Amino acid sequence: MKYRVAKGKAKIYPIYEHLIIRFDRVSRPVRIEIHGDPHVSLMRGIYKNPTKRSSHKTKSDPSFDKPLQMLHVDLCGPIAKQSLNRKKYILVLIYEFSRYTWVEFIRTKSHVPMLLINLLKRLQFLHDMQVRVIRSDNGTEFKNSTIEDYLTSVGITYNFSTPRTPQQNVVVERKNRTLVEAATTMLNASSLPLTLWAEVVSTACYTHNRSLVVKRFEKTPYQLLYNKRSNIKFFHVFGCKCYVLNDREPVGKFDPKGDNVIFIGYAWDSLAYRVYVPRTQIVVVAPQTSYNIN
């Protein structure tokens, strides 16, 4: 005897030699063969249907109450369009306590282990704090002997999320989406070439660290990490046209002394701006006093 399972309300209708059962949450009708006890076989067919995963509750409180004790790491990419420096991946690090974020751009996944190790050394040295736990997904760029040997030698615990369960690494996964969506909006609004996506993501991360407020503390990530307020008086509108002194090329007596450029971001390691020069299609770092932004 054959039974057919179809969509609809939970009712049973006998029609000749078929049994039609309607369910609320079955996405498509299925046909099953009944052998032996029809009730047992029918339940087996129902359990084989695809089901939805249960939702994950949002984590309201952080696991640690001090900076840099726990870092969330993820790799975003590959990006279809290479950046100006031929980068295709975004390495995102965000620490649990204040949500301060770092981004690095790489060409291949093979660069992740050494880059991550160098970043850990630099962060711990600059802030004089010991990282205790690192959490990431099960990607081979993170789950390898190079990283595991280093973390074991320095006493750092490595946590991995369950495969195909990004909800367990939700802190950095949501940050990835926030940065990508912000960069997409900024690129579309400014009509800049897509090859500048790395610069735009870096700018979005830079401004988020100094402007977004962590609700639990009513402070910005920068203020929680450095224990001081960030100066945002030098912030300017992304994509605005500006003028910068051309001190990179030999200029004649009566030649223009500057270039018309487009403001695209801030230098992380110095008090300067990053601007895009359409004439040469390159990105340069300009001191604060060398040009004016209107």
Give the pLDDT mean for 259-267: 89
Neighbouring CB atoms inside 10 A of 209's CB total: 21
pLDDT at 8 over 70: no
Distance CA 161, CA 134 (A): 11
Residues 6 or more apart whose CB falls under 8 angstroms from that of 280 comprise: none
**Tens digits of per-residue pLDDT, 10-26?**
444 444 344 444 444 44
Which residues does 62 contact at the CB level (< 8 Å), separation at least 6? 70, 96, 97, 216
pLDDT at 28 over 50: no
pLDDT tens profile 70-114: 899 999 989 999 999 899 999 999 988 889 999 999 999 999 999
Q: How far is CA 92 from the centre of its chain?
A: 6
Q: Mean pLDDT score of the chain, rounded to an integer?
A: 79
User: What residue type is assigned to position 252 of the chain?
Assistant: G
| 136, 163, 75, 201: CA torsion to nearest 10 | -100
- The 3-state DSSP class for residue 285 equals strand
Which residue carries 């390495």 as its tokens? 91
Cis before residue 193, ω within 30 degrees of 0?
no
Report yes or no: 102 and 72 within 8 Å, Cβ to Cβ.
no
Interatomic CA distance for residues 86 and 82, integer angstroms: 5
Using the Cα atoms of residue 103, residue 107, residue 112 and residue 113 in order, give the sign of their dihedral: negative
Contact indicator for 275, 244 with CB cutoff of 8 Å? yes
Q: pTM for this structure?
A: 0.76
Residue 265 CA to residue 155 CA, distance in Å, equals 37
Provide the pLDDT for residue 219: 92
